[in-house]
Amino acid sequence: MTTLLWLQASGCGGCTMSLLCAESPGALEMLADAGIRLLWHPALSVETGAEARAILEDVATGRKCLDILCVEGAIARGPAGTGRFQMLSGTGQSLMHWAGRLAARARHVVAVGSCAAYGGVTAAGGNPTDAVGLQNDGAHAGGLLPADWRSGSGAPVINVAGCPTHPGWVTETLMLLAAGEVPALDGYARPRFFADHLVHHGCPKNEFYEYKASARELSEIGCMMENLGCIGTQAVGDCNIRPWNGEGSCTRGGYPCINCTAPQFEDPAHAFVDTPKIAGIPVGLPTDMPKAWFMALASLSKAATPVRIDANAHADRVVVPPTLRKPR
């Protein structure tokens, strides 16, 4: 039996909503089957008010043992370091205060979503509430908890980043922890089982990308890297390898990847759906690609674009099918 407590800090609750989209089996069955017992979840548990306060207090004082603390949402530190922009209702204490107390008791701490991990959208646009992640302030190590903080298991906060997180990323992380495995983490403490992939991997627009056959406006089906702000070649996540909501992903939906698994994605310093360029060349290069090679290959492949791919890139559906190949 693995105990789990879930807190909703300063966020939108969307990572819980996404979690409930888990399938085969559903989220509730998957957690139960893995021997995970929810001590309390603000959206799902029956306990409210005094009953809920008693559970939180029991965990915070160590009377109840806590294996996994999941925090969804950023930690609001404002105004003036008091945390009063988010009070945990009924307790007279800030959520910042509770998150610190409860994290100290947990064997593992999981930041669910980019807000809890890095601050995320809650920290956007001048960060009006002085929000941070559990163990990161954007890309900088150290948030509510210092950079060298470790949970009972000896691991740092596990950042299941994403805005929202994919239900599979959360359930698989939790199932691994329940089985006694701490997943390997990347440099931003994201589980490598999803962070070792790029969103570009498996994107249905890959053939357009090969020729830099680019959509100029949203709804055209060409690659969105050159003009529409797609950073799938740099963003980590297996979004195009495992589907979202049946068979979706951002790029399959016809809009760019905005790198929501990364620290500070919320303030890209340009409009999300524009690609910043210098002298007509996109500023952000594909991960691990030398610039000179990228430029040479891009101009060569652009010149070699087949008519089919060029026509389709600027339509909202396939207008020219692939040429039939007859067997010899």
Question: Binders of other proteins among 10-69, rule CB under 8 A?
Answer: 10-18, 20-23, 26-29, 38, 40-49, 52-53
Q: Distance (Å, rounded) from C-alpha 130 to C-alpha 79?
A: 7
- Min CB(259)–ligand SF4 separation in Å: 6
Q: Distance (Å, rounded) from C-alpha 293 to C-alpha 162?
A: 31
* 65-94 residues near other proteins, rule: CB under 8 A: 76, 78-80, 84-91
Stretches 62-70, 121-129, 132-140, 257-265: which one binds ligand SF4 (CB under 6 A)? Answer: 257-265
128 in contact with other proteins (CB under 8 A): yes
Among 199, 221, 298, 309, binds ligand SF4 (CB under 6 A): 199
Cβ closest to other proteins, residue 24 vs residue 323: 24
The binder of 322, among ligand SF4, other proteins, none, by C-beta within 5 to 8 A per type, is none
Phi, psi dihedrals of residue 44, rounded to the nearest 5°: -120, -30
Cβ closest to ligand SF4, residue 250 vs residue 298: 250
For Cα atoms 243, 318, 201, give the angle at the middle one, nearest 5 degrees.
Answer: 35
Kindly state the helix (H) or strand (E) to which residue 67 belongs, with its residue range.
strand 66-72
User: Which residues, 6 or more positions from 104, have their beta carbon under 8 angstroms from its beta carbon?
Assistant: none
* 261-290 residues near other proteins, rule: CB under 8 A: 266, 270-274
* 135-164 residues near ligand SF4, rule: CB under 6 A: 162
The binder of 97, among ligand SF4, other proteins, none, by C-beta within 5 to 8 A per type, is none
Q: Distance (Å, rounded) from C-alpha 39 to C-alpha 52?
A: 9
209 in contact with ligand SF4 (CB under 6 A): yes
The binder of 61, among other proteins, ligand SF4, none, by C-beta within 5 to 8 A per type, is none
Give exposure, 139-164, as e/b (b: 16+ Cβ within 10 Å): eeeebbbeeebebbbebbbbbbbbbb
Cβ closest to other proteins, residue 14 vs residue 152: 14
103 in contact with ligand SF4 (CB under 6 A): no
Q: Distance (Å, rounded) from C-alpha 253 to C-alpha 255?
A: 6
* 176-205 residues near other proteins, rule: CB under 8 A: none
The binder of 203, among other proteins, ligand SF4, none, by C-beta within 5 to 8 A per type, is ligand SF4
The binder of 223, among ligand SF4, other proteins, none, by C-beta within 5 to 8 A per type, is ligand SF4
Among 261, 264, 275, 312, binds ligand SF4 (CB under 6 A): 261
Residue 136 three-state SS: strand
206 in contact with ligand SF4 (CB under 6 A): yes
- Cα-Cα-Cα-Cα torsion 116, 120, 121, 123, nearest 10 degrees, comes to 90
Instruction: Name the residue among 140, 141, 74, 69 with its Cα closest to residue 101.
Output: 69
Contact 116, 99 (CB under 8 A): no
Number of residues that bind other proteins (CB under 8 A): 80
Among 141, 218, 241, 285, binds other proteins (CB under 8 A): 218
Q: Distance (Å, rounded) from C-alpha 19 to C-alpha 152?
A: 25
Structure tokens at 196: 């070792």
164 in contact with other proteins (CB under 8 A): yes
Contact 103, 145 (CB under 8 A): yes
* 216-235 residues near ligand SF4, rule: CB under 6 A: 223-225, 230, 232-233, 235
Number of residues that bind ligand SF4 (CB under 6 A): 24
Kindly state the helix (H) or strand (E) to which residue 131 belongs, with its residue range.
strand 131-132
